[in-house]
Amino acid sequence: MRDAGGEGGGGGDDRDKIGKSEKDQSWIPKIIKKRVCTAFVEDSFSNGALCQCGGERNAHASVALGDYFSTAIVNHWDSAQHSSEYPTDAFGELQFAGASKRHSYFLRLSWDTPPSMVYTLMTVHWGLPAPNLVVSVVGGEGRTKVKTWVREVLRQGLVKASQSTGAWILTSGLREGVGRCVGEAVRDHATAASSVSLNKVVALGIAPWGLVHNREQLVNPQGSFPAKYYVKNTSRDSCCLDNNYQAFLLVDDGSVGRRGGDTGFRAKLEDYISHQRTGIWGSGSIDIPVLCMLVSGEASMLERVDLSLKTSMPWLVLAGSGGMADFLSDVLENLSSNPGVQSSGEGDGEAVPNVDLKDRMTERFKKYFPLEAETDKLVERALSIYQNRDFITVYHGEQEGPNEFDTVLLKALVGASKHRASVDASPYTEELKLAVTWNRVDIAKSELFNGDFQWRYEDLEDSMTDALVNDKPQFVRLFTENGLNILDYLTYGRLENLYRSVADGTLLYQLLQRRLVERLGTTGIASSPSNVQESPSKVAEQNIENGPGMEISLFEVSGVLELLMGDVCQPFYYGALELENISSKRRALKRASKLLRGECLYRHRRCLFPWASLFIWAVLQNRSEMATLFWEMAGEPVLSALSGCKILRELSKLEVETETKLSMKELAQRFENLAHDVFSSCYRSNESRSFTLLIRKSPVWGGTTCLQMGMGADARLFFSHDGVQSLLSQIWWGDMKRSTEVWKLLLTFFCPILCYTNLITFRNHEDQQQEQESKPNEDGPGRDSDSLYGTTVFSFSDIKHIDAETQESHSPRTATMKGIPQPHRPPKRPFIVSRWRQFWFAPVTSFLGNVLMYFLFLLLFAYVLLVDFKPPPPSGPAVTEYVLYFWVFTIVCEEIRETFFLGTKTLRQRIRLYIQDVWNKCDLIAFTLFIIGLTCRMFHWTYGFGRDVLCVDYMVFTLRLIHIFAIHKQLGPKIIIVGKMMKDVFFFLFFLGVWLMAYGVANQALIYSYDPQLDRIFRRVFYRPYLHIFGQIPVEEIDVGKTWDMNCTDNVNLIDGGAEPCRTLYSNWLVVILLVIYLLVTNILLINLLIAMFSYTFNEVQANSDIYWKFQRYNLIVQYHSRPSLAPPFIILSHINLFIKRTIRKVPSIKIHHFVLQLSGKVANRLTTWETIQKEDFLTAQNKIQKSSDSERLKRMSVKVDGVLKHLTESRDFDHRLRALENEMEYCSNALSWIVDTLAQGSTFKPSRPPPTLRDAFPCSSSST
């Protein structure tokens, strides 16, 4: 916060004091003082009973009373000389009796309290929002009757305009005059406004302490929280505090019952606020505009106006409101309009008014204030005000009406700022900054961007930053549409400044600070040996104060994005930081630290993808409208929306506040819907291009694709789209038709020679290509329209075709004819080889083989366990068991290959991804149990335990079948429902366990008085009550009325030795009652509760189970697409083949083309352009739907009605003017008639002709009447 001059020199220390806990209020009296009159200066009009301060003689100290010498000398009481400061005794919260429960803040303070301290108290401690505008209403105090039109101006004009701009309104805060009108207007607007309105008006009362009625109710040296304030007869005007104000500053100058004691402090506070910055944490581009508004007023108000004008404070005078306002408006309008009046002699110094101007001023002053005695002094003040008339705006509210008052305020502030601004500045720059500050885009469109003025980039730069930081998306759109080039605006340095402007306390700020502490802490520890024993956070705090490179940079932003995006894409901004070739995090951290301690030349370079960078910045701050705007501006709308969805859902997991978490989830769902809808538009336009869109590798989003980002964002709705499922189905079936029946696949699988028959229909790639080449195209022969946007691949033949074309396109031997390259045809494989590969390389064939072989594996495992499980060596194991071991070994090899030898991720990323999958955890458990069981069964002493472990392991391997059948259209959704119901089972088991334990312990204790055997206790406490649920009730044992053929004893020694104890007879009636209650609760209550939970879960999940299944289907397709054609145990042959091809022959994999397609040059640009066109068509359709809605129609109708009302108001004004003109004409005609009659009757003048007769000017109208 910046202090104004020397007034707030201690502002920084004051803020430190005020920033304490709200519960500890003891610091306020230490820094805030009150004033008490300590010298009795006799008031001559009171016969010695009162002091000139207004207090009684008894209220003054005895020392002052006895100082007769001083009272005789001093003739005028002065607060600075005759009062002393003491700790304030009135502060805290104020509750008005009989009014609303909302509390107001109040503070009694001395008139010379530094305004910086008070402003910090109000904004930091009281929590009042920092103003975008301050309107100080001056005048209209006392019991002066406020005119009706002035009330309307205050209600419909001032308060309404202040509500739209987020303003503070300063008045006396008393229930009299203008203060009462403003309070009622604020109350009415607050009631009508939405509770979530961000631009809430703050009504601040500044009144003299000695003038407030019932002020003794506020006195409490320890502070009042709250103080009860009683107001009597609220219908009449009085000097009581108004309950519609949020805060009161009660200025104390030691006087009692005197007005004007607050004038000096109020002027200083206004001046101080006018030097503070607007926006969040003072991040705005302009100082807070302060406007003083004069309503009526006494003659003494001239001094107040003159002092403010000398500090260049703008004033708005309400002409016609009476008193001083009418005098100033008359002077400014009539004297200024007289061309013969010269206000000053310009040149070297003070203006010297001429005699004529002073006489005219004196004449007008006596006209308005005939009873004033000190006329000369007040006239001098008026002349000084006249010389600063450029800062005064006269408003005729009675004629103009209150509807355009916000525009009047804006123009008044702009008019004053123009005279303060430099000559080179644009005449509309200040007006634009004020419009941005108030967030009045309607005023900016109508007044500034109407085509009359050509805006330069330099004029919009600061306002653009202000609009971005303070979340004003409508202005951002307006600026970009009117001359601001985002490529020139957004440099990496400016992007860093935007991240530095993030508000404290937000989640993004905390994440950035953690990354900053990590970088600075590591650097500090590494660079200084003396910091070895200090924590990294302390070192970071020291480094932040020590020089360059200690602020938030793009490296911290990249770290936060890496935390949120995970392994979906490559790190952001590494290219700007020159870290793209560094894979190690530690090395990147050291390199970035070194770079940021230097000159950081990258900050002057343009941001590579400005709209995407701004989109990320807005999404990270959960700014809905701003993020949506940048999404519309950015390219790759489908991927951008999915990326925003991913970021927001990860942020919602870290957010603590419930409301913010919900808003993040809602915005994430909104972006997922946008991605779904835009892709729907693309899919309807062209199916092939939309498939290319899904697998295109994006340079903007770190080399990821729509499918990968959608999977990372958990975008289930997006994956359920028919276009996405169509692509996945084509990849799943390869070159085979998707309508192929399963029995044909099975038959061909067991009899491979059938693939050469027509049993299964395959796609013929050559025929398709010939059809495409036969179509004419403007881009040249042999190219269809889809090829301009990249080629989507679905099968092995497509991959080989693209690979061959790529190799040929880079060959210098490409045949050309008339300068046109001819399409290259790869050499055709023999039909036997190509058809064989088309069948066996399809993912569905790989899946079918794995399922069949897995069933054989389970059969072999079951045979070994049941029939052929031999004793430990040397007797066993059997041959079938060795085959089982080898089979499991091949399965483990395939798991290792999938985890560590696919993709380009680091080892840690691969392990983390593997562990995150539930079925991979199941595999780990199965392999671990198998190794333990295999190891234990090889030894005699653990043989039985090993066999038991393998039996349990067989169950785990069998449960793995559930994941395999997730691909099935009917079984997949049901598997999801079963998974959801498992959570309900755990909740049910919790309730059941509590009730079962309660009944089991009580039942065992009542039946058997003594039974120390733990095995029997466990069975009878837990196991037997569990069996009761299913109807297995041992009545003979529980009911003593039944015969029990069990030998028992009551001998304690025998019981300790393991004998069966006898039942207790006398409490058996209670056992039967407990059994009845237990069965009633478990079999009726808890079981039905479980059924109800299952029903609710089924109904809830069934509607979305298809979406869940389609989402999970992607993972299974990717898994089996990457697998070799052979299934375990024959997969070992494929592993050997892959090892030879990848390691020895260095042949790269081509299957990756199915899910990642690299496009560049014209192909990528054309695809992006096509996607952008589809997005614009979608947004246009959405706008049409929105405009056709009832709410939009009502808005347009209200605008038209307002326009009609405005025209009617203007026509009424014209009617008034015409009537006035008619009256003037009638008077003139009567006067001329009188002159003619007089001259005709006299004998002095004899005319040569008679007077003219009156002709009928409107014969038609007269005839009609």
* CB contact at 8 A, 41 and 74: yes
Half-sphere exposure for 263 (CA within 13 Å, toward CB)? 16
Q: In 31-183, which ranges are E strands?
A: 33-37, 83-87, 91-96, 104-110, 133-138, 167-171
Beta bridge partners of 549: none
Cα–Cα dist 1231/1245, whole Å:
19
The pLDDT tens digits of the residues spanning 915-936 come to 888 888 999 999 999 999 999 9
* CB contact at 8 A, 207 and 172: yes
- The whole-number average pLDDT for the span 1240-1251 is 69
The pLDDT tens digits of the residues spanning 1142-1165 come to 788 777 766 655 578 888 889 999
- Predicted local confidence at residue 9, as pLDDT: 41
- CA-only gyration radius of the chain, Å: 44
Q: Which residues of 235-257 are buried (b: 16+ CB within 10 A; e: fewer)?
A: eebbbbbbbbbbbbbbbbbbbbe
Cα–Cα dist 636/624, whole Å:
19
Cα–Cα dist 640/612, whole Å:
8
Cα–Cα dist 319/150, whole Å:
10
pLDDT band at 24 (very low <50, low <70, confident <90, very high): low
Half-sphere exposure for 206 (CA within 13 Å, toward CB)? 29
- Predicted local confidence at residue 281, as pLDDT: 55
What is the CB neighbour count within 10 angstroms for residue 909? 13
Report in angstroms the alpha-carbon separations of 849 from 69, 201, 842, 1130. Answer: 117, 72, 11, 11
Cα–Cα dist 1118/1001, whole Å:
53
Cα–Cα dist 468/814, whole Å:
53
The pLDDT tens digits of the residues spanning 817-837 come to 333 334 444 567 788 888 888
* CB contact at 8 A, 962 and 1000: no
What does the angle CA 45 – CA 48 – CA 51 come to, to the nearest 5 degrees?
Answer: 80
pLDDT band at 881 (very low <50, low <70, confident <90, very high): very high
* CB contact at 8 A, 174 and 161: no
User: What is the DSSP secondary-structure string of 630-690?
Assistant: HHHHSS-HHHHHHHHHHHHHHHHHH---HHHHHHHHHHHHHHHHHHHHHHHHHHHH-HHHH
- Say which residue, 698 or 1157, is predicted with more confidence: 698
- Predicted local confidence at residue 781, as pLDDT: 40
- The whole-number average pLDDT for the span 662-685 is 96
Beta bridge partners of 137: 293
- Predicted local confidence at residue 796, as pLDDT: 45
330: pLDDT strictly greater than 80: yes
On average, the pLDDT of the chain sits at 79
Beta bridge partners of 606: 491
- Predicted local confidence at residue 777, as pLDDT: 38
Closest-CA residue to 331 (of 364, 304, 293): 364
- Of 442-451, 456-465, 1065-1074, minimum mean pLDDT range: 442-451
pTM across the whole model:
0.70
The pLDDT tens digits of the residues spanning 1204-1234 come to 776 776 676 677 778 878 888 888 888 888 8
905: pLDDT strictly greater than 80: no
The pLDDT tens digits of the residues spanning 42-78 come to 777 767 678 878 777 777 764 444 444 444 455 677 7
- Predicted local confidence at residue 1121, as pLDDT: 85
Non-local (6+) Cβ contacts of 896 within 8 A are none
pLDDT band at 300 (very low <50, low <70, confident <90, very high): confident
- Predicted local confidence at residue 623, as pLDDT: 95
Cα–Cα dist 600/548, whole Å:
10
The pLDDT tens digits of the residues spanning 990-1028 come to 999 999 999 999 998 998 888 888 888 888 899 999 998
- Of 581-590, 806-815, 1086-1095, 1182-1191, minimum mean pLDDT range: 806-815
Q: How many helices (H) does the chain have, and how many strands (E)? A: 56, 14
Closest-CA residue to 469 (of 282, 236, 194): 282
- Predicted local confidence at residue 1237, as pLDDT: 79
Non-local (6+) Cβ contacts of 54 within 8 A are 210, 255, 256, 257, 258
Cα–Cα dist 910/892, whole Å:
16
The pLDDT tens digits of the residues spanning 1121-1146 come to 888 888 899 999 988 988 888 788 77
- Say which residue, 244 or 537, is predicted with more confidence: 244
